[in-house]
Structure 1
Amino acid sequence: MEGGGSLSEIYQSARKLLLRARDGISKLERFESAAINSSSSSSSSSSSSSLGIGADSLEIAFSIKKDIAQIQSMCADMDRLWRSIASRGQHDLWRRKVEQVAAEVDFLKGSLDRLSLRQQKRMQEAKERAELIERANGESSHVLRIFDDEARAMQSARNSHMVLEEAYSTGVAILSKYSEQRERLKNAQRKALDILNTVGLSNRVLKLVERRHRVDKWIAYTGMITTVVVVYMFWRWTH
């Protein structure tokens, strides 16, 4: 089937990616909780791990973004495939399944966005505290460099996410155009068949009319000849 597999195969792959993305969100939430507890126990902590934005967190976040983009692309494929199912019961069943996957991936995307916003907010607050400390004793330049590096890493991850979203939007647009063109071709094919059927019926009707016209003409000629013969015989008999 189109889209890289059957509807059932795409659905199963999407469910596996959902589980992996959900597990990744749980890990990021645990990192965040640990970071909050660490920062509350040590107000002077300045390491990036205390913010929950270490290399592991960035790698997990980027992996989740890729999974979400792939699931959204699969949803576009499944949305196209379930609409072509002829059976009413199967049609409604797959529609609900695809809508559930789409709702789950939207929820995960929202959760990831909220985690990223909270991370950025903590980074900004920590950077502001470090700047205050630096102005007070001039010993926080190293801390600022750490936050600048982490900020650049987060920006790079956001840029990558934007590229993935743009690629997904382009793919969805292409699939939508392809589906529209296919429907137009089907409509044109149906109209052509209707026209051919109409033309075939019209030809049969014309042939019947022509045949009836010939029969009527022979009947008229026969009647005229018969009338002339009868009149001639009557005239001979009377004379």
Structure 2
Amino acid sequence: MDSGAGGSGTLSEIYQSARRLLLRARDGLARLEHLVSSSSSSSSSSSSFSSSSSSVNDLALAVKRDVTQIQSLCAEMDRLWRSIPSKPQRDLWKRKVEQLAEEVESLNESVSKHLVRQQKRMQEAKERTDLLESANGESSHILRIFDDEAQAMQSARNSSIMLEEAYATGVAVLSKYADQRDRLKRAQRKALDVLNTVGLSNSVLKLIERRHRVDKWIAYTGMVATVVVVYLFWRWTH
């Protein structure tokens, strides 16, 4: 006897509806497995991966809805077959409903595994994206450090060149002062010789000597000032 209760249809009608839903759910699971396999084997861009993930999720949820509906029909059939008077018919429908329930449960486990794997793949893709963004940010930071160090080294080289030029200028100035001092000494000796020859007084000779000392102090002062200027310039550039 195949009759059932209420307006839900007979037990046979409910069973046929459940079988059609099961076939559709199996077909959806097969397409889901093919889509997951295709998206896993291809190295697509992030936008393609996002589109593929969306398709996988939509298909998995559609299969889940069919599974839930079949489980609801199984619960309804489980209630109906118990009311069948004939024991052979009752046992037959019991086996059919239990077999259908086992197939649905197996299908439900497969879909759940696919959803878990898909969630894991999405998490891994997000971690890779975050890692790449972090690496790019770190690379930019390292490049900025290299640029700063390069600029600092160039500034140090420029300062060294300026210091060498200043030192060379100071040496040249000191050399000129030394030459002038030698010329002054030679001129003094010649003058003394001339004065001694013409018999000038000692007071004139003392005046010339004082002038020589003054000139010597001027030369020394100039050399010291030049050294101080070179040292201060070196400290300023460093």
Settle same-fold status: TM greater than 0.5: yes
Give 1:170 shift.
2.6
TM-score by length of 2: 0.58
In structure 2, the CA distance between the partners of 1:222 and 1:145, relative to structure 1 (3 Å rule), is same
**Where does residue 63 of structure 1 map in the other structure?**
30
**What whole-Å deviation, never above 9, does each CA across 1:190-224 have from its counterpart, x for those lacking one?**
33333333333222221211121121122223223
State the AA in 2 paired with 1:48: Y
C-alpha separation between the residues in 2 aligned to 1:103 and 1:167?
14
What is the CA deviation profile of residues 132-166 of structure 1, one whole-angstrom value per residue up to 9, with x for unaligned ones?
A: 22xx4534111011000000000011111122222
2:79 is matched with 128
SS in 2 for 1:132: coil
Q: Does residue 160 of structure 1 match 2:142?
A: no
Residue 198 of structure 2 is matched in structure 1 by none
**RMSD of equivalent CA atoms:** 3.8
* Paired amino acid for 2:114: L
Which one has more relative contact order, counting CA pairs under 8 Å at least 6 apart?
Answer: 1
Contact kept, 8 Å, 2:29 with 2:63, in 1: the verdict is no
Show the counterpart of 2:66. Answer: 115
Pairwise mapping of residues 61-210 of structure 1 onto structure 2 (< 5 A)?
Answer: 61-66=28-33, 69=36, 73=39, 80=46, 82=47, 106-133=57-84, 136-138=85-87, 139-210=89-160
Q: Which runs of 5+ in 1 are unaligned?
A: 1-38, 83-93
CA distance in 1, matches of 2:8, 2:121: 48
**123-132 or 57-66, larger mean C-alpha shift:** 57-66
Could you tell me whether the CA contact under 8 Å between 2:64 and 2:108 is conserved in 1? no
d(CA) in 2 for partners of 1:54, 1:103: 23
Answer yes or no: is the 8 Å Cα contact 1:61–1:112 preserved in 2.
yes
Kept in 1: contact 2:28–2:59 (CA 8 A): no
C-alpha separation in 1, matches of 2:171 and 2:112: 89
Deviation at 1:47, TM superposition (A): 7.5
Deviations 1:75-101 (A, max 9, x none): x97662x4xxxxxxxxxxx89xx66x7
Structure 2 letter corresponding to 1:43: T
The answer on 1:226 being equivalent to 2:171 is no
Q: Is the 8 A contact 1:47 1:143 kept in 2?
A: no
Tell me the matched-pair count. 182
Q: Who wins on radius of gyration, i.e. which is larger?
A: 2
Q: Percent identity?
A: 9
Matched residue type, 1:125:
E
Map of 1:35 onto structure 2:
none
Query: Any stretches of 5+ residues in structure 2 without a counterpart?
Result: 1-5, 192-206, 209-238
- Structure 1 length normalisation: TM-score? 0.58
